[in-house]
Chain A
Amino acid sequence: MKRVMQLLLPLVGVGLAVAGWWMASLAVPDLPSPARTWEESKIYVLEPFVKRGETDQGIALLAFYSLTRVAQGFLLGAVIGTPIGFLFGVSPMITRMFDPLMQVLRPISPLAWLPLGLVLFQKSEPAALFAIAVCSVWPTIINTMVGVRAIPQDYWNVAKVLRLSRTTTFLKIIVPATLPYVFTGYRLSLGIAWLVIVASEMLTGTPGVGGFLWQEYNSLIYAHILLAIITIGVIGFALDRLMGLAEAKLRAA
């Protein structure tokens, strides 16, 4: 019974939301109803890998472009952010030096970074990667730093008592002790990267879910906007779950 409820209750929630959407579509003439949305966009869902034009492609292809870009930007952020996080964690002096700067840079919107990226790189693709990396790097830095600081005194004692070298201490104690925190950082960073990609595609008009959304808005095909929004949400959820699984596995180990 409990199991049935666990499956049933989320479905009820979704049902209520769709009902709300349907009622809203009655009040706002431009908003397509759930049924019309499905009718007008099912070709994208049922033929997800078909390429009809530059932006007129199956939803899976569009998602693939966006995900590739996100993966590149996120990896760039992780490769830069993880060592910085470790450095901040072990050195209070360096943290003090850069903390105010970090606090100022962190709240800047991706929409503000993107034009700077365009100025720096002249092209939309590297500008998008730049924006993703800059915006998504912070949770990785902060969580890694917190993870290093949270290492129990016991483990530092082991390093001292066994007279481990700096390298050995780093590889055998600091990294394994910090790994669960690092992955929490990665999960949060990936979430941000996914938010940024949509915004950057909308601004630069590159093919992807965000680019598709903006183009369909300009073409007045509102049903496709809703399709894009739902796709963005589902993929974001899936990414978070995947990273969550990796994180849970690390914590259990």
Chain B
Amino acid sequence: MAFIEVAGVSKQFGGRLVLRDVALTVDRGAFVSIVGPMGSGKSTLLSIIAGLTSADAGSVRVDGALVTGVRRNAAFVFQNYSLLPWFSALENVRLAVAAANPSLSRERQVARATQALEQVGLGNALARRPGQLSGGMRQRVAIARAFATDPDVLFLDEPFGALDALTRETLQQDLVRLCSSVERPVTTVMISNSVEEAILLSDWIVPLLPGPPATLGAPIPVDLSRPRSAAQLAHEEAAARVRAHVIATLTAALGTRARRTSAKTDPEAMTAITLAAEESR
């Protein structure tokens, strides 16, 4: 059963069409990455799916309900951490817990926030403010904040984009662990400009074909066993095939854009996609 259904979504900024006729279907519990070059409209698409921005045309449904604003059980991780610098790590997470469960007592909120931070290895940095934490630690706080509210859908906006390669890999593994350890399945939509990252984390990769207007390509399954590691993926033939497929699709789209004389002759028709996460697992 489709958990997220995006149909016919278009968006324009200042008269310029950024997204056209975007369709996407994500099954419950699937991890889908939308991969495309920078500035191609990925963030806009994610904002629309998440209900942060409204589309000019089309609809987004999550769990059957039409999205008109930010959903109750949705959580976010942004590239730039988006932590409140005047609060400690604990207080940043507790704020999310309190907003999601207003009836919870303060002690329970603190306990939940502490637990979430311990899960990302920050049990000894509860009282520290974001300014006293490294980039990787800040992003851990943001991840803890996202998981502390037991979300059923998770939106990741280039979550590891601002981190160095080593920190990035440990955090990616932490994310995989958290996604698989929660009791109920988390449906995840991540946008990224890293094909490697998408292969490491996703069940499906959806290439965003840059425009303007941008459209989505056919989803590419990542049929690789879990757990995965970057080192293992570097040698695996199946991973190389996925990588080649994604890159070929993206470069072909870039070539098309370069050859195109007019924006109105877009070769990509509306692409409806059904993603079966269970099949890939």
Q: Which A residues are within 8 Å of any B CB, using their own CB?
A: 154-155, 157-158, 160-165, 168, 172-173, 176-177, 253
Known contacts A154-B78, A172-B95, A253-B86; 11 additional CB pairs below 8 A are A155-B84, A157-B52, A157-B82, A160-B52, A160-B70, A162-B99, A163-B100, A164-B95, A164-B99, A172-B84, A173-B84
Residues of A within 8 A of B99 (CB): 162-165, 168
Check A157 against B78 for contact (C-beta < 8 Å): yes
Residues of B within 8 A of A165 (CB): 99
Check B52 against A161 for contact (C-beta < 8 Å): yes
In the complex, chain B residues 75-105 whose Cβ is within 8 Å of any chain A Cβ: 75-76, 78, 80, 82-84, 86-87, 95-96, 98-100
Q: How far is the CB of B203 from chain A (nearest CB, A)?
A: 24
Bound together, the chains give a CA A142 to CA B8 distance in angstroms of: 45
Which among B70, B84, B87 is the interface contact of A161 at CB below 8 angstroms? B70
Quick one: closest A residue to B96, CB to CB?
A: A162
Q: How far is the CB of A59 from chain B (nearest CB, A)?
A: 41
Given contacts A157-B52, A168-B99, A172-B95, contact A163 B70 (CB under 8 A): yes
Given contacts A163-B99, A164-B99, contact A158 B84 (CB under 8 A): yes
Check A163 against B72 for contact (C-beta < 8 Å): yes
Q: How far is the CB of B122 from chain A (nearest CB, A)?
A: 18
Residues of B within 8 A of A163 (CB): 70, 72, 99-100
Residues of B within 8 A of A176 (CB): 84, 86
Quick one: closest A residue to B157, CB to CB?
A: A157
Bound together, the chains give a CA A165 to CA B95 distance in angstroms of: 11
Q: How far is the CB of B98 from chain A (nearest CB, A)?
A: 8
Quick one: closest A residue to B142, CB to CB?
A: A158
**6 shortest A-B CB distances, which residue pairs?**
A176-B86, A161-B76, A162-B99, A154-B82, A162-B96, A158-B82
Residues of A within 8 A of B95 (CB): 162, 164, 168, 172
Quick one: closest B residue to A172, CB to CB?
A: B95
Mark each residue of chain B from 38 to 81: 1 if its CB lies under 8 Å from any CB of chain A, else 0.
00000000000010100000000000000000101011101010
Quick one: closest B residue to A155, CB to CB?
A: B84
- Give 10 A-B contacts (CB < 8 Å), ordered by A residue: A154-B82, A155-B82, A157-B76, A158-B83, A162-B95, A162-B96, A164-B95, A165-B99, A172-B87, A177-B86
Bound together, the chains give a CA A165 to CA B84 distance in angstroms of: 16
Check B86 against A154 for contact (C-beta < 8 Å): no
Residues of A within 8 A of B74 (CB): 161
Bound together, the chains give a CA A56 to CA B163 distance in angstroms of: 69
Residues of B within 8 A of A172 (CB): 84, 87, 95
Mark each residue of chain B from 163 to 175: 1 if its CB lies under 8 Å from any CB of chain A, else 0.
0000000000000
Bound together, the chains give a CA A189 to CA B75 distance in angstroms of: 42
Q: How far is the CB of A247 from chain B (nearest CB, A)?
A: 15
Bound together, the chains give a CA A165 to CA B99 distance in angstroms of: 8
Residues of B within 8 A of A161 (CB): 50, 52, 70, 74-76, 82
Residues of B within 8 A of A173 (CB): 84
Residues of A within 8 A of B98 (CB): 168
Residues of B within 8 A of A168 (CB): 95, 98-99
Bound together, the chains give a CA A253 to CA B129 distance in angstroms of: 10
Residues of B within 8 A of A157 (CB): 52, 76, 78, 82
Q: How far is the CB of A181 from chain B (nearest CB, A)?
A: 14
Residues of A within 8 A of B80 (CB): 154
Quick one: closest A residue to B98, CB to CB?
A: A168
Bound together, the chains give a CA A165 to CA B102 distance in angstroms of: 11
Which of A155, A163, A165 has the most B CB atoms < 10 Å from its CB?
A: A163
Bound together, the chains give a CA A174 to CA B180 distance in angstroms of: 36
Quick one: closest A residue to B80, CB to CB?
A: A154
Q: How far is the CB of A147 from chain B (nearest CB, A)?
A: 13
Quick one: closest B residue to A165, CB to CB?
A: B99
Bound together, the chains give a CA A196 to CA B83 distance in angstroms of: 42
Q: How far is the CB of A151 from chain B (nearest CB, A)?
A: 11
Q: How far is the CB of A125 from chain B (nearest CB, A)?
A: 40
Residues of A within 8 A of B83 (CB): 158
Bound together, the chains give a CA A172 to CA B95 distance in angstroms of: 9
Q: How far is the CB of B170 from chain A (nearest CB, A)?
A: 24
Residues of A within 8 A of B100 (CB): 162-163
Bound together, the chains give a CA A177 to CA B95 distance in angstroms of: 16
Bound together, the chains give a CA A177 to CA B86 distance in angstroms of: 8
Bound together, the chains give a CA A173 to CA B75 distance in angstroms of: 18
Residues of B within 8 A of A162 (CB): 95-96, 99-100
Bound together, the chains give a CA A172 to CA B50 distance in angstroms of: 23
Bound together, the chains give a CA A155 to CA B83 distance in angstroms of: 8
Quick one: closest B residue to A154, CB to CB?
A: B82
Bound together, the chains give a CA A154 to CA B78 distance in angstroms of: 9
Q: How far is the CB of B42 from chain A (nearest CB, A)?
A: 16
Q: How far is the CB of B99 from chain A (nearest CB, A)?
A: 5
Bound together, the chains give a CA A154 to CA B98 distance in angstroms of: 20
Q: How far is the CB of A180 from chain B (nearest CB, A)?
A: 10
